[in-house]
């Protein structure tokens, strides 16, 4: 494994090698690296097991399930490459459909992906290229169909792919996911910040003398599983002096924080306390959340998070998966499936090799989102909101058909690959 690159940047030899590995996976149904199991896995996930109607879609595990899925595919590409006598130095390329979106001219950069020598054209069935009818046989049976926005081929297609403005909305969303953890969370309306905290001091505590900054945030914790999302931006910070010898003089060593006032959608608040002038890494955090309307007295300060997670009520997952829509059409991820249409719009969509370049791009967007929003915001518990029971989408839930948990795949770099768009010198920060 290594760096996953934009397919636009691949040389002819790279493209040929990728296609050769895919065709090898398809040609050897008995090999461990066989292609068709990906179709079966995806269909099984769609139709569901005993615990959920769909562990791979419509919930937080959308990103980690597909990360695991395409990572397995990439490892099989390597195995197939080795079987063909090469050195296995092959990675899955991604398709940035905000740019490469014009199959009408395959001699131009925006159309090269759709050339016969690479992923090929539309058609019912696709009639030329490596994935043409009679050559590329899909499972359980049939030929590949693609519309590429042509409603004469697929009446349900959309005319265009998502653009950069739509993707930007998803990347800028603060919350990873939110209640009710399905296809309904919208772009999210962040709570506005509380007013600066009202603070008094009193005797009897054990907080070390010195200067502290205090900020508050609103939380929405109305649902048992909703303790890691729904946090407002922090209030303006307020400085307070504690203990002997500080300025202005103050002999007390515990803090009394008045509850911020009521706010629609907010049920709790968090208190963050930071030692003023402390060395990096000495910042502190007071446990929460605290029910709104209840003042809190801090007698000690707990070392913990460095700053509020700035996690609002939005769902980047739902926006990028593409259920959140303002124009009544599928967006971003879903939109690409529907634009390709035909085979790519059904549960057997991995029958089309474009699936893997598309989902590689979706995985890249998740990584970009993680870089922009440091701190692990993946929900630990995704409650019983969809019959018949728990959705296998929580941080420590196995993602069928594998035993892999979301926790295992939060950091793509730790899995052995990176993207050519990863920021240089910045670590993925997925720890609380
Ligand atoms: Cu998909």
Per-residue model confidence as pLDDT tens digits over 160-204: 999 999 999 899 887 888 766 778 765 455 567 789 899 999 998
> According to the model, what pLDDT value does residue 281 have?
45
pLDDT at 268 over 90: no
Under the banding of pLDDT at 50, 70 and 90, the label for residue 246 is: confident
> According to the model, what pLDDT value does residue 278 have?
54
Tell me the CA–centroid distance for residue 353 and ligand 1, in Å: 12
Q: What pLDDT, in 10s, does the model give residues 285-322?
A: 666 788 999 999 988 887 655 455 444 457 899 999 99
Q: Angle at CA 46, nearest 5°, toward 43 and 51?
A: 125
Tell me the CA–centroid distance for residue 359 and ligand 1, in Å: 6
Tell me the CA–centroid distance for residue 263 and ligand 1, in Å: 37
> According to the model, what pLDDT value does residue 364 have?
98
Average pLDDT of the chain to the nearest whole number: 86
Q: What pLDDT, in 10s, does the model give residues 359-395?
A: 999 999 999 999 988 776 787 666 544 444 446 677 8
Tell me the CA–centroid distance for residue 323 and ligand 1, in Å: 12
Tell me the CA–centroid distance for residue 105 and ligand 1, in Å: 25
Tell me the CA–centroid distance for residue 427 and ligand 1, in Å: 27
CA distance 119 to 126: 11
> According to the model, what pLDDT value does residue 310 have?
44
Tell me the CA–centroid distance for residue 66 and ligand 1, in Å: 8
Q: What pLDDT, in 10s, does the model give residues 270-280?
A: 888 877 765 44
> According to the model, what pLDDT value does residue 386 have?
43
Tell me the CA–centroid distance for residue 281 and ligand 1, in Å: 40
> According to the model, what pLDDT value does residue 391 have?
62
> According to the model, what pLDDT value does residue 229 have?
46
User: What is the percent of the chain where pLDDT is above 90?
Assistant: 56
> According to the model, what pLDDT value does residue 289 have?
80
Q: Which domains does the chain have, with CATH numbers?
A: 3-173+315-419 (1.10.1280.10), 199-298 (no CATH)
Tell me the CA–centroid distance for residue 62 and ligand 1, in Å: 9
Tell me the CA–centroid distance for residue 431 and ligand 1, in Å: 27
Tell me the CA–centroid distance for residue 5 and ligand 1, in Å: 19
Tell me the CA–centroid distance for residue 191 and ligand 1, in Å: 31
* Mean pLDDT computed over 333-362: 97
Under the banding of pLDDT at 50, 70 and 90, the label for residue 431 is: low
Under the banding of pLDDT at 50, 70 and 90, the label for residue 228 is: very low
> According to the model, what pLDDT value does residue 309 have?
45
17-26, 58-67, 209-218: least confident range:
209-218
pLDDT at 253 over 70: yes
Tell me the CA–centroid distance for residue 35 and ligand 1, in Å: 17
Tell me the CA–centroid distance for residue 337 and ligand 1, in Å: 6
Tell me the CA–centroid distance for residue 42 and ligand 1, in Å: 9
Tell me the CA–centroid distance for residue 332 and ligand 1, in Å: 10
Tell me the CA–centroid distance for residue 95 and ligand 1, in Å: 13
> According to the model, what pLDDT value does residue 374 have?
78
> According to the model, what pLDDT value does residue 400 have?
86
Q: What pLDDT, in 10s, does the model give residues 113-128?
A: 999 999 999 999 999 9
235 to 191, 193, 196: CA distances (angstroms): 11, 5, 5
Give the three-class secondary structure for 209. coil
> According to the model, what pLDDT value does residue 304 have?
55
Q: What pLDDT, in 10s, does the model give residues 349-369?
A: 999 999 999 999 999 999 999
The residues that bridge with 202 in the sheet, in sequence order, are 254
Query: Are 3 and 418 a contacting pair, CB within 8 Å?
Result: yes
Tell me the CA–centroid distance for residue 344 and ligand 1, in Å: 8
* Mean pLDDT computed over 15-23: 98
Look at the block and give the residue holding tokens 């409650």: 383
Can you give the chain as a three-state secondary structure string?
Answer: CCEECEHHHCCHHHHHHHHHHHHHHHHCCCCCCCCCHHHHHHHHHHHCCCCCCCCCCCCCCHHHHHHHHHHHHHHHHHHHHHHCCCCCCCCCCECCCCCCCCCCCCCCHHHHHHCCCCCCCCECCCCCCCCCCCCCCCCCCCCCCECCCCCCCCCCCCCCCCCHHHHHHHHHCCCCCCCCCCCCCCCCCCCCCCCCCCEEEECCCCCCCEEEEEEEEEECCCCCCCCCCCECCCCCCEEEEECCCCCCCCCCCEEEECCCCCCCCCCEEEEEEEECCCCCCCCECCCCCEECCCCEEECCCCECCCCCCCCCCCCHHHHHHCCCCCCCCCCHHHHHHHHHCHHHHCCCHHHCCHHHHHHHHHHHHHHHHHHHCCCCCCCCCCCCCECCECCCCCCCCCCCCCCCCHHHHCCCHHHCCEECCCCCCCCCCCCC
Tell me the CA–centroid distance for residue 317 and ligand 1, in Å: 13
Q: What is the pTM of this model?
A: 0.75
């Amino acid at each position: 494994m290594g760096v996953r690159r934009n397919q636009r940047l691949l040389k002819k030899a790279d493209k040929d090698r990728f296609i050769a590995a895919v065709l090898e996976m398809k040609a050897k149904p008995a090999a461990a690296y066989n292609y068709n199991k990906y179709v079966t896995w995806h269909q099984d996930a769609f139709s569901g097991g005993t615990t959920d109607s769909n562990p791979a879609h419509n919930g937080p595990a959308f990103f980690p399930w597909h990360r695991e899925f395409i990572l397995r595919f990439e490892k099989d590409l390597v195995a197939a490459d080795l079987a063909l006598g090469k050195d296995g130095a092959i990675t899955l390329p991604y398709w940035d459909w905000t740019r490469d979106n014009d199959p009408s001219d395959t001699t131009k950069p925006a159309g090269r992906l759709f050339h016969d020598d690479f992923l090929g054209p539309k058609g019912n069935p696709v009639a030329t290229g490596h994935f043409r009818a009679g050559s590329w046989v899909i499972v359980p049976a049939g030929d590949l169909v693609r519309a590429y926005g042509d409603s004469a081929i697929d009446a349900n297609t959309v005319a265009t792919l998502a653009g950069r403005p739509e993707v930007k909305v998803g990347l800028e969303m603060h919350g990873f996911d939110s209640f009710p953890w399905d296809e309904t969370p919208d772009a999210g309306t962040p709570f506005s910040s509380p007013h600066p905290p009202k603070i008094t001091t009193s005797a009897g505590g054990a907080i070390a003398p010195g200067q502290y900054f205090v900020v508050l945030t609103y939380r929405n914790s109305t649902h048992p599983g909703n303790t890691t999302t729904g946090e407002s931006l922090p209030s303006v910070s307020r400085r307070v002096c504690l203990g002997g010898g500080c300025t202005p003089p103050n002999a007390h060593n515990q803090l009394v924080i008045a509850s911020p006032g009521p706010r629609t959608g907010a049920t709790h608040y968090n208190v963050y306390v930071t030692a003023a002038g402390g060395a990096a890494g000495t910042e502190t955090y007071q446990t929460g959340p605290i029910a709104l309307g209840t003042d809190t007295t801090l007698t000690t300060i707990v070392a913990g998070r460095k700053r509020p997670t700035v996690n609002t009520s939005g769902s980047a997952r739902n926006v990028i998966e593409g259920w959140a829509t303002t124009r009544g059409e599928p967006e971003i991820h879903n939109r690409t499936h529907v634009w390709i249409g035909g085979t790519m719009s059904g549960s057997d969509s991995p029958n089309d090799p474009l699936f893997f370049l598309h989902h590689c791009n979706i995985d890249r967007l998740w990584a970009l989102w993680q870089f922009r929003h440091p701190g692990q915001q993946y929900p630990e518990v995704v409650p019983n909101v969809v019959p018949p029971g728990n959705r296998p989408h929580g941080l420590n839930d196995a993602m069928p058909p594998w035993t892999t948990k979301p926790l295992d795949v939060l950091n793509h770099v730790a899995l052995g690959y990176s993207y050519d768009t990863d920021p240089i010198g910045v670590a993925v920060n997925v720890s609380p």
